[in-house]
Structure 1
């Protein structure tokens, strides 16, 4: 069995929980509350900025030119293509790219990006590949499920179309192949890869919950009070 198949089999309860999450089922039906989707747009935009950086850092860790080039290309695609979806949805809320970049990360988004960036800076390429893989495979599988249960077109249809597109499928297939190739080449990295994969998978599920609940920090920073000079 390929290592990616083993990881996905182990994570089956997480995938099932994603399929059952109300953010997923309501988005598929077109009934998801607009504020919940706006929260996803804002937070996922911030997430993708770091996600692209992780692929760039991974490219610097690659031993061969072909892998390095593909990792760098994927970083570019995230910034130039995938984030266009977020920018188009943001326009419906009157949000500009500058508005999106100014959004503060919610706790779950912060935890997820911290995990990925730390892995990219401190881990080896097999561990980085395993850490980023659940995002691609998870969105493809969830979007395929949404397409199956959707009754027709609605305002969220572009989301489903983006993450079931041929281009996205090809990228996810490449990510999966990379995980398997690196697992075969580095059997001593399996435990690290497994830990990174499962942490990311759990955070994928929690990201849906974060958006659905409009998660925010419970307590914000104390505001500074201006003091007049004597």
Structure 2
């Protein structure tokens, strides 16, 4: 079994919980409250800035040129392309780029990005690969689940199409290969990789919950 499949087996319960989460189901059906989606756009924008940092730091730790080039390229793509998509989503709701940049991270967003950045700085390249995998494979799998649930086009269709499109599928396939390669090269780090993977996967689930409840600090 490829190590990426091993990780997915360990995270199967988290995947099932994501598939059933009301944010996911209602977005797929087109019935999600606009305020919840707007909240997700704002928080995910802040998340992606640190996600790009994760790839950039991972690139600096890579030992071969191909991996370094790809990881640094993904960091640039997130900053140059995926954030643009969020700005477009935000513009549809009358949210300016300046407003996006001033958004305060919610507790879950702080927890997730702090975990990723700490893993990037303190973890091995294998742990980093496992930590970033749930965001790639998880979003593809959740978006495919949304495709199954969707009944015709609606305002959230562009979200589903973005994360089931060829470009994101190719990015996810590379990430899966990266995880498998790390699993083969560093068998002594399998437990650490599983821990990093499951932590990220659980935080992915909590991110949906954070957006659905529009989590705040209570202060």
Please tell me the TM-score bracket, short chain as reference.
Answer: over 0.9
Shift in Å, 1:120: 0.2
Contact 1:14 1:205 in 2 (8 A): yes
Match of 2:169 in 1: 169
In structure 1, what is the equivalent of residue 159 of structure 2?
159
Preserved CA contact (<8 Å) 1:56 1:71:
yes
Moved over 2 A (4+): none
Distance 2:101 2:197 in 1: 27
- 1:194 has 2:216 as partner: no
What is the TM-score when the length of structure 2 is the normalising length?
0.99
Q: How do 1:33-182 residues align onto structure 2 when only pairs under 5 Å count?
A: 33-182=33-182
Q: Distance in 1 between matches of 2:7 and 2:133?
A: 10
Q: Quote the Cα distance in structure 1 between the aligned partners of 2:152 and 2:77.
A: 28
Asked whether the equivalents of residues 85 and 159 of structure 1 are also in contact (C-alpha less than 8 Å), the reply is no
**TM-score, L = length of structure 1:** 0.94
Q: Give the 5 Å matches for 1:25-40.
A: 25-40=25-40
Q: Which residue number in structure 2 is paired with residue 222 of structure 1?
A: none
Identify which range, 73-82 or 155-164, moves more after superposition.
73-82
Q: Equivalents in 2 of 1:102, 1:57: separation in Å?
A: 24
**CA displacement at 1:218 relative to structure 2:** 1.6
Kept in 2, the 8 Å contact 1:133–1:175? The answer is yes
Gaps in structure 2 of 5+ consecutive residues: none
Residue ranges of structure 1 left out of the alignment (5+ in a row)? 220-230
1:207 partnered with 2:213: no
CA contact (8 A) 1:28 1:150 kept: yes
- 1:10 is displaced (CA, Å) by 1.2
- Any idea what SS the aligned residue of 2:105 has? coil
Provide the secondary structure at the position in 1 that maps to 2:176. helix
Count matched residues.
Answer: 219
Residue deviations 1:125-145 (CA, integer Å, cap 9, x gap): 000010001000000000001
Report the secondary structure of 1:217's partner residue: coil
Query: Once superposed, what is the RMSD of the aligned Cα atoms?
Result: 0.7
The question of 1:21 aligning with 2:10 is answered no
The corresponding residue for 1:224 is none
Structure with greater Cα Rg: 1
1:157 Cα deviation from its structure 2 partner: 0.4
